[in-house]
Amino acid sequence: MTRTPNPDRRRDRSRRATLAAALELCVERGYAAATVDAIAARAGVSKATIYRWWPAKSAILLEAVDEAAPIPETFPDTGDLAADLLAWLSGILGVFRDPHLGPAFTGLLAESQLDAHLAQQLRERLIDHRVAQLEERMTKARENGELAADADLEVALDVLHSPIYRRQALHYPLPDDTYLDRLISLVMRAIGPAHTD
C-alpha cells in the first residue's frame, strides 16, 4: 500500500469516468445531446484532457461500446451451425436492445451513415473481425458438406446480418428469437446441402 499519487491510476479513473458519462448521457438525453462539453462536466474531467485522448465524442462512444458490448470475440462452435448462428445474431441484437449501450450504438450508426471515416472505424473496431470469424466457420461448414458446395457465403452473411440493422434504422419492430429462427431457416434452406429440407 502506498499513498503516493499514481498518475496511471488517475488516468485510468478519468478514462473510465469519461466512458461511463458518455454512455449515461446517451441513455438520458439521447446521442445528439451527449456533447463533449456535457461528457466532460458529467465525468469531472477537463475538455482538454478528453481531447488529448479522443478526437471526438464518437470516438469516446465507440470505445465505450466496444469495451462493454456483450458480443463474444470468438464465434461459437458447438457443431450445430444453426444454433451457433442464433446465439451470434442474438448477441448482436442484444447490443441494440441493451438499455445502457443501445442508444450509443444506434447513435454511432446514424452518425456513420453521414461520416465515412467513422463508419470505417466502427467496422474495424466492432464488426469486421467478428464477421470474418463467422465467414471462416461457414467456409469450413461448406468444406465439410454441412453447407452446399456452391453456397454463396458472402450474400448469406449479408442476409443474416442486415435485417436487424434495417429494422432498427427505420424503427420497425426489432426481430425476436422467433424471427431469428425464421431468418436462419430461410438462409439454411438456401445454402444448406441440396434436397434435405
**Least distance from a copy of itself to the Cβ atom of residue 31, Å:** 6
Q: Between 8 and 150, name the residue whose CB sits nearer to a copy of itself.
A: 150
Tell me the three cell numbers of residue 53.
485522448
Q: Between 18 and 112, name the residue whose CB sits nearer to a copy of itself.
A: 112
Tell me the three cell numbers of residue 141.
461448414
Contact 164, 92 (CB under 8 A): yes
Interface ranges with a copy of itself (CB under 8 A): 30-32, 106-107, 109-114, 116, 119-120, 122-123, 127, 152, 154-156, 158-159, 161-163, 165-172, 179, 182-183, 185-187, 189-191, 194-195, 197
Q: Which long-range contacts (CB under 8 A, 24 or more apart) does 148-152 make?
A: 148/191, 148/192, 148/193, 148/194, 151/190, 151/191, 151/192, 152/191
Contact 98, 108 (CB under 8 A): no
**Least distance from a copy of itself to the Cβ atom of residue 196, Å:** 11
Cα–Cα nearest to 106, from 121, 117, 95: 95
Q: Between 9 and 171, name the residue whose CB sits nearer to a copy of itself.
A: 171
Contact 135, 153 (CB under 8 A): yes
Say which amino acid occupies 80: D
**Least distance from a copy of itself to the Cβ atom of residue 189, Å:** 4
Q: Between 49 and 106, name the residue whose CB sits nearer to a copy of itself.
A: 106
State the Cα–Cα distance between residues 164 and 22, nearest whole angstrom: 24
**Least distance from a copy of itself to the Cβ atom of residue 115, Å:** 9
**Least distance from a copy of itself to the Cβ atom of residue 10, Å:** 35
State the Cα–Cα distance between residues 167 and 141, nearest whole angstrom: 29
Q: Between 60 and 183, name the residue whose CB sits nearer to a copy of itself.
A: 183
